[in-house]
């Protein structure tokens, strides 16, 4: 018996087993006892989900209720003191950045987050030698080449047109 014949017979046996399994599943699903068990299981799962949602809702409410206001005040004081010290250090180093916002999450343990912001841009003094961007492009010869990637790889307009023509020819050949 050839390898191909053995493979066909194995595939036929697998297909028959799949048909038998599907028929057994259909028979079980139409069985009233099986349907009743499934209905009962779905109802039990639904009830458990409702109970879990209620516990979660109560848990969140009690977690927020359990936060000691004095502890929260201490966290606010420490976080703002750290913000002020960091901003003072940033100022001393000449950085234009500051800690502009503090976020305290009501988790156990509480977490503190800092948002960094830029104070303001330094006013630039115009030199009188500023050039319009379109003039810079023309001076650099950028219009002479077609840039096709951010890594600086360029292709001439002729090469690009040739590649587009070849692509169009291949698409026509594939559909025709």
d(CA 1, CA 120): 84
E-strand ranges in 35-131 read 97-105, 111-118
Q: Which residue has the higher pLDDT, 153 or 93?
A: 93
Co-location of 145 and 96 in the same domain: no
Last residue of a domain, one of 28, 45, 60: 60
CA distances from 131 to 32, 51, 100 (A): 84, 69, 36
Co-location of 55 and 9 in the same domain: yes
pLDDT in tens, 21-73: 888 877 777 778 877 887 888 888 888 887 777 766 655 555 666 777 888 88
Co-location of 9 and 49 in the same domain: yes
d(CA 101, CA 119): 12
Quote the domain boundaries for residue 30: 3-60
Could you tell me the pTM of the whole model? Answer: 0.37
Answer whether 156's CB lies under 8 Å from 146's CB. yes
- Per the structure, how many domains does the chain have? 3
Q: Is residue 89 part of a domain?
A: yes
Q: Is residue 103 part of a domain?
A: yes
């Amino acid at each position: 018996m050839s390898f191909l014949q053995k493979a066909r017979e194995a595939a036929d046996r697998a297909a028959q087993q799949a048909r038998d399994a599907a028929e057994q599943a259909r028979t079980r699903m139409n069985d009233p006892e099986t349907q009743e068990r499934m209905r009962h299981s779905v109802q039990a799962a639904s009830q458990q989900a409702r109970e879990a949602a209620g516990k979660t809702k109560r848990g969140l409410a009690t977690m927020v209720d359990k936060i000691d206001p004095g502890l929260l005040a201490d966290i606010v004081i420490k976080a703002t003191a750290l913000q002020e010290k960091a901003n003072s250090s940033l100022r001393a180093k000449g950085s234009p950045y500051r800690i502009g916002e503090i976020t305290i999450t009501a988790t156990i343990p509480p977490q503190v987050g800092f948002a960094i912001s830029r104070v303001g841009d330094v006013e630039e003094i115009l030199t009188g030698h500023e050039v319009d961007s379109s003039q810079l492009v023309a001076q650099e010869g950028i219009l002479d080449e077609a840039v096709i990637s951010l890594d600086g790889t360029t292709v001439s307009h002729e090469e690009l047109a040739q590649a587009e023509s070849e692509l169009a020819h291949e698409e026509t050949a594939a559909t025709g």
